Amino acid sequence: MTLRTLYRFIDEGQLPAYKMGRVIRLQASDVDDFISRARIVPGTLEHLYPDPRGAQSGRGQHHDDEAMPEPSRPAAKRASDVMDLDDAQGENGQ
């Protein structure tokens, strides 16, 4: 965990902390409780792995013979389509 993330957890109130002068202190029991609350239960991250056959595949309707359409993707930018900031200022006379 980065220091910035730790400060964010403290600032959001997710992790109790105590400032003594210029030093921020944490109680070990508070850290243990925070870690327990953050535990990921196995099987709860299914939303991160979508079914490649679509939403209906889990309903017993398997169409292995049918090809899945390719997802639409935005067109890639070509180098000629991208203008450098210095070039844009030069064209405007700035």
pLDDT tens digits, one per residue of 49-61:
887 776 655 555 5
Average the pLDDT over 69-77 and give the result: 51
Beta bridge partners of 25: 18
Phi (first) and psi of residue 56, to 5 degrees: -85, -10
Predicted local confidence at residue 89, as pLDDT: 43
pLDDT band for position 86 (50/70/90)? very low
The vertex-16 CA angle with 13 and 18, nearest 5°, equals: 120
**Among candidates 14, 16, 34, which has minimal Cα distance to 25?**
16
**Among candidates 15, 13, 12, which has minimal Cα distance to 29?**
15
Distance CA 87, CA 85 (A): 5
92 or 43, which is more confident: 43
Q: pTM for the complete prediction? A: 0.47
Predicted local confidence at residue 66, as pLDDT: 52
Predicted local confidence at residue 56, as pLDDT: 58
Average pLDDT for the chain = 73
